[in-house]
Structure 1
């Protein structure tokens, strides 16, 4: 191993991450024979095969998994060193890797825009996925920071609230309940459009109904907030979503926020990272920036029929919360 090069480790890491020699060659602007040769040299140095081929798929061997963890640690150290030197020079340069749950896409770009303008030397990689996949990435420490709608209690992680995330009841603009004060028991009579089981929004709604001894009438489960909003407009039912989902592509003038007992349900957006992780200079800079998040996210127009103003973004709390493994 002593004679292995950083280039060989870089090639190996790309294959392990992408699961493909071809894609690794494309990412690194190398020919596939060159990639294969670098891996052969590295395997010879280790004395054990690093990959095994099953059909067209590539899998890490036990030795490969051990080396992959080692290689990622090396590259993390180099990235921190580069950013530390940049910080010493009074610069903010490097890469910020973010992974966010699907609903966060409604405000994440508006947070990143001013940040990138303030620090033009920072490149941002943004991964958007469902909560389950984001938690997998957090467990594997694949990114710098993670944005979720509820703390990752199933993992040993630090989670800090930075932005309020109120859940509201949405209905078609011509719904007969618009403009009325609505008891929760009356809302329970309406057919609901829901996200998949396990969704943080769905869990919050189910807890509220259970606390009042009420049952949900689920008419349909849909896989995205966009599909739910279109189904609401189509008159298929009502739903509970983050008010942030009204920020971008909500059907203008076709949705209303109902004035329901117990709503909005107060929630927060959390920024998380593995407990004990040493944040890079860039990640720490973005974490500090998030504490001013309401200044960078514009207020969403309110379609509430009986309330003149709907405050969306009050001052954030900055109390740090550490969650432990259950």
Structure 2
């Protein structure tokens, strides 16, 4: 090993990670409770130790160099190992302790906090770092070891991933309550074709599941508008911009309040399984392993939680 690298400090790596995450020296200074000159000094010292520049500007945007990307991966590995050590030392004292690095696909973001809350009641010394993104973003974070476990659907078969299906994700068609289709008692997917449809962006598992299902059912929507979040789709439907297919769990409050109406489409709900996923062969930290075991052994509890959150009774009453 090059001797200068041995002089690198954990504090320098923390500051460096803050700059990588925020892509800004000033925002990193706020995160680390430092002055901007102090952050600049730490980065300059790191660059001297590495022997290469770590960041470069293009216009006003800050970009990572190849050296920075390599250092970021190494830093994440170092802090991950220290976190694992902390958990193992806590286990020796008889208590599970540490942080769960959990990635959550957008469609599962309404379930994940409730799921972790149950887990935390069993292990009160555990905290969570939860990152939400679309399907493609979660796969990228998993491959980069930024999250130990990801909750997602449509696990790709060509990746070296270990996965555990634990809950059905019901995707339903919704409309604003004044929409003419809300008067119908029995619909087919093809009855929806002539109306505008709001869809998620490419890279979303909900978008992929719906696209595949439309092809299977030979259904084609000609008037579509793309939106990059479930929240935008939900509000777009409420505003009357079009229909949408959304995970029922993500709209349970709106269904219960009468802001949205679930359409009685014969071919729906479309069911896809949410899965807990991690890299195959990767040694999970004690906290991540305990969370994976919790999901495997508490499926009845998780199903009861989802039923409570889904607002199915409110939908039926509406």
Is 1:202 aligned to 2:207, yes or no? yes
Q: Distance in 2 between matches of 1:183 and 1:89?
A: 59
- Residues 244-289 of structure 1 show CA distances to partners (whole Å, capped at 9, x for unaligned) of 1222344612433233232211211122222332211111122222
Q: Distance in 2 between matches of 1:205 and 1:42?
A: 47
How far is the alpha carbon of 1:14 from its aligned partner? 3.3
Moved more, 16-25 or 110-119: 16-25
**Residues 150-165 of structure 1 correspond to what in structure 2 (within 5 A)?**
150-153=154-157, 155-165=159-169
Higher helix share: 2
Q: May I ask how many residue pairs the two structures share in their alignment?
A: 307
8 A contact 1:182–1:260 mirrored in 2: yes
- Residues 135-174 of structure 1 show CA distances to partners (whole Å, capped at 9, x for unaligned) of 3322322122222232145643323222110112223445
| Gap change, CA 1:104 and 1:36, over 3 Å in 2 | same
TM-score with structure 2 length normalisation?
A: 0.81
SS in 2 for 1:259: coil
**Residues 12-31 of structure 1 correspond to what in structure 2 (within 5 A)?**
12-31=16-35
Q: Which residue number in structure 2 is paired with residue 130 of structure 1?
A: 134
- Residue of 278, 285, 310 corresponding to 1:300: 310
8 A contact 2:110–2:250 mirrored in 1: yes
Q: Which residue number in structure 2 is paired with residue 263 of structure 1?
A: 268
SS in 2 for 1:106: coil
| Higher RCO (CA-CA < 8 Å; seq separation 6+) | 1
How far is the alpha carbon of 1:235 from its aligned partner? 4.7
**Residues 167-186 of structure 1 correspond to what in structure 2 (within 5 A)?**
167-173=171-177, 175-176=180-181, 178=183, 180-186=185-191
8 A contact 1:258–1:304 mirrored in 2: no
| Gap change, CA 1:106 and 1:150, over 3 Å in 2 | same
TM-score with structure 1 length normalisation?
A: 0.79
Moved more, 83-92 or 16-25: 16-25
Moved more, 109-118 or 56-65: 56-65
| Gap change, CA 1:68 and 1:189, over 3 Å in 2 | closer
Q: Which residue number in structure 1 is paired with residue 221 of structure 2?
A: 216
Q: Which runs of 5+ in 1 are unaligned?
A: 309-326
Q: Distance in 2 between matches of 1:251 and 1:90?
A: 44
Moved more, 191-200 or 124-133: 191-200
SS in 1 for 2:276: strand
Q: Distance in 1 between matches of 2:157 and 2:135?
A: 12
SS in 1 for 2:311: coil
Cα-Cα RMSD: 3.1
| Gap change, CA 1:271 and 1:81, over 3 Å in 2 | same
Q: Distance in 2 between matches of 1:294 and 1:303?
A: 15
Q: Distance in 2 between matches of 1:103 and 1:243?
A: 9
8 A contact 1:163–1:269 mirrored in 2: yes
Q: Which residue number in structure 2 is paired with residue 287 of structure 1?
A: 292
Moved more, 132-141 or 60-69: 60-69
